Amino acid sequence: MKIAKTSRILTPIESWSQLPHGQCLLKHTQQRIDHTITRCFGYHLLKLGQLSSQLSTAKSPIIHQINCAASGEDIGLFADLHLLPVQDSSIDLCILAHELDFSSDPHQLLRELDRVLTRDGTLIISGYNPISLFGLRSLLTPKNPHTARLFLPNRVIDWLHLLGFEVQQKQHFDFLSCQFNSKFSNFVESIGQRYLPYLCSTYFIVAKKQSIPMTTIKSPFKFSKPMINRQPLATRHHRQ
């Protein structure tokens, strides 16, 4: 199994156009973002990375929205995503689009998200699937500075479970890697998403942080009558 942390220097992605068929991928990702964020409420929304910052979140009911990245345009908070200058338990919704694919330490990145999210905060993650056409292309060009480090969606879900997240939604799309644009290709894409989801190039995960209360919750159920009679039984003394 591939080690998550690496010492290799990864070139960050600055725009969706740098990805193969990036505009088509942006369109499909935006559709799923629009459908999800309308049901997420709170006070603060954090978009991590330049790709996440380029996603529109105008349909979100959360008013205060922050774009966070190490560099780029329209960024409100310049910071290292692995060491966020954000208070603990202060963010209600985090969006992470393809940042795990280009992170040198994805474990630390997820730990930071777990730290800044509120007790019932929501995390949206999208990334590439290594068992796909895109994964095969990345194996053929391993020396490309923009080559992503691909992790299986189930492995990402295991990391989230260890941090106490509950996965509420998992989708797979981009079966053909957006190489065609016709009725037949759309038909094949729908068949691939329905019957061969684990061979699609992109996964989309929505997870909710779960908090365990420190005090035990007592059950309201009580027996109507005591099961054991605790009164002492009458004893008879015999005179010698």
The CATH number for 101's domain is 3.40.50.150
Cβ 112 vs Cβ 82: under 8 Å: yes
Whole-number Å distance between alpha carbons of 97 and 26: 10
Copy the structure tokens of residue 18: 């740098």
The answer to whether the CB of 60 falls within 8 A of the CB of 37 is yes
Specify if 136 maps to a domain.
Answer: no
Whether residue 1 lies inside any domain: the answer is: no
Radius of gyration, CA atoms only, the chain:
25
Average pLDDT score, the chain: 85
Q: Render pLDDT for 52-100 as a digit per residue (tens, 0 to 9).
A: 999 999 999 999 999 999 999 999 999 999 999 999 999 999 999 999 9
Spatial CB neighbours of 58, under 8 Å, sequence gap ≥ 6: none
Q: Is the pLDDT of residue 121 over 90?
A: yes
Domain count, the chain: 1
Is 238 part of any domain? no
Domain that holds residue 21: 16-129+151-174+202-209
CA separation (Å) from 100 to 34, 57, 90, 124, 201?
21, 20, 22, 12, 15
Longest alpha-carbon distance in the chain: 108
Adjacent-strand bridge partners of 202: 128, 173
Q: Which range has the worst mean pLDDT, 4-13, 76-85, 86-95, 217-226? A: 217-226
pLDDT at 138: 73
Nearest to 104 by CA among 81, 71, 131: 81
For 201-223, what is the mean pLDDT?
A: 76
CA angle 48, 50, 52 (to 5 degrees): 55
> pLDDT band for position 8 (50/70/90)?
confident
Distance between CA 62 and CA 71 in Å, rounded?
24
pLDDT at 134 over 60: yes
Angle at 213 between CA 207 and CA 215, to 5 degrees: 170
> Does residue 52 form part of some domain?
yes
For residue range 171-201, what is the model confidence (pLDDT) as tens digits?
Answer: 999 887 665 567 777 788 888 888 888 889 9
| Beta-bridge partners for 15 | none
Is residue 169 included in any domain, yes or no?
yes
pLDDT band, very low/low/confident/very high, at 137 (cuts 50, 70, 90):
confident
Between CA 161 and CA 207 the distance in angstroms is 9
**Assigned domain for 21 exists:** yes
Is residue 6 domain-resident? Answer: no
Residue 114 in any domain: the answer is yes
- pLDDT category of residue 143 using cuts at 50, 70 and 90: very low
Contact assessment for residue 126 and residue 151, using Cβ atoms and an 8 Å cutoff:
no
